[in-house]
Amino acid sequence: MEASLGSAFEITIYRAGDRNVWDALVAQARNGHFQFLRDYMEYHADRFEDLSLLIWRGSRIVALMAGHRSGTTYYSHQGLSFGGLIQHADFSVNWVIPVMTKIRIWLQQQGFKTWIYKTLPTLYHHQPAMSDHWALFVLGATWDYRNTSVTIDLSNSFSMHKNRKRALSAVGKRELEYRESRDASLFHPILTDLLLRKFGRSPVHTQAEMQRLMDTFPENIRLHLALRQETVFAGVLMYNYAGVAHAQYIAATPDGEQAEALTGLFHHLIQSIYHQERYFDFGICNEENGAVLNEGLARFKEGFGAGITIFDAYRLEI
C-alpha cells in the first residue's frame, strides 16, 4: 500500500522558475508562513546551499520542504525559525508516510546521512497540520532539541504577574514614549551591543539584512521602540502573520533596562497594537539547543501572563 501511494508522488528540486508555484502553495497551505516565501528565504542565499524540495502528486503540487545541504546533513532549515513539511490545505494523513519516505530515500540517493527536521509550532497552523510529527515517530526519528517559547493566548483571559505589575508601575514615572519605526539603524546597534555584552555573539541578521526584510515585508515585520526624550531605550522587532505576533528580536540599552523600558513596551504592544491577534509569542528562553533554561528571561516573559509552547527539531538517520 505504501509503495503504491509512494509511486504517486514525485520530488523536484526548487529552481528559480518555480518561485510563483512555491509562493502560491505557501499562501494556501494549512501551515504556511511568510518566512517560507522566496523573498524571505533568499536574503541569506549566500550562507546556505539551498536544496528546497517540491512534492507533486501527478501534475499538482501538494507540499514543500525548505532545506539546504551542509556536508552529509540535510537541514530543513537552519536559516529559518522553523521548518518541516509545508502542506497544501487538503494534504491527507494517508500521504504523509509515503511522502516522508520518498524524501528520505531521495536524500539517501543524494549521499546524505542525516536529516535535521525542524517542525512548525502548532500556534502557526491555520488548520491542524501535525501529521509530520506522527510520520517522524513511525520512521524512527529522535529529538534533536526542544526549545520552550513563551506565548500568550490572547483569545483567553490572562493577567500579569505581580513582579511585572510592579515594574509597569515604575515605568509610568519614567515618561517613556512608544513609537513604530521603519528604520533598522535605530535598533540594530542596541541589539548588537546587548548580544555582545551578555552572550558574546552577534545578531543573525546584519543591519542591512534587517532593513531589507523590513522593506520587503512591511505588513509582517514591524519595529517598535520605547524612547525617552528622543533617545531609544528599547526596541522589539515583531514578526506578525496570520494571527501570531512574534517578538523576533528584543533589546534594551543599559539605561533602558534600569527604566524597565521593555516592560512598558511589551505592555503597549500586547494591550494596544496586537491585542486582536490570536497569539503573542515572546520567543524562546533556552540556550544550548534547549538543554538549558534561561530562568531570568523565562521569568520576565512569563510575567506578562504567558505560558509555554514548544519548538521541536528531530534527527532522522538516513
What separation in angstroms does the CA of 103 have from each of 10, 32, 71, 305? 9, 20, 18, 41
Distance CA 207, CA 216 (A): 14
CATH of 2-140, one of 3.40.50.10190, 3.40.630.30, 1.10.240.10, 3.40.50.300: 3.40.630.30
Task: Note the pLDDT of residue 5.
Answer: 62
Distance CA 104, CA 115 (A): 8
Task: Note the pLDDT of residue 6.
Answer: 62
pTM over 0.85: yes
pLDDT in tens, the chain (318 residues): 344 566 799 999 999 999 999 999 999 999 999 999 999 999 888 889 999 999 999 999 999 999 999 999 999 999 899 999 999 999 999 999 999 999 999 999 999 999 999 999 999 999 999 999 999 999 999 999 999 999 999 999 999 999 999 999 888 767 899 999 999 999 999 999 999 998 899 999 999 999 999 999 999 999 999 999 999 999 999 999 999 999 999 999 999 999 999 999 999 999 999 999 999 999 999 988 889 999 999 999 999 999 999 999 999 999
Domain segments of the chain as ranges: 2-140, 151-311
Kindly give, in sequence order, each residue whose CB lies less than 8 Å from that of residue 215, ignoring residues fewer than 6 positions away.
Answer: 182
Please state the CATH superfamily assignment of the domain spanning residues 151-311 in this structure.
Gcn5-related N-acetyltransferase (GNAT) (3.40.630.30)
Residue 44 preceded by cis peptide, ω within 30: no
Task: Note the pLDDT of residue 52.
Answer: 98
Distance CA 149, CA 137 (A): 23
What separation in angstroms does the CA of 186 have from each of 101, 178, 180, 237? 47, 13, 11, 11
Task: Note the pLDDT of residue 46.
Answer: 84
Domains 2-140 and 151-311 agree in fold: yes
Task: Note the pLDDT of residue 1.
Answer: 36
Distance CA 166, CA 164 (A): 5
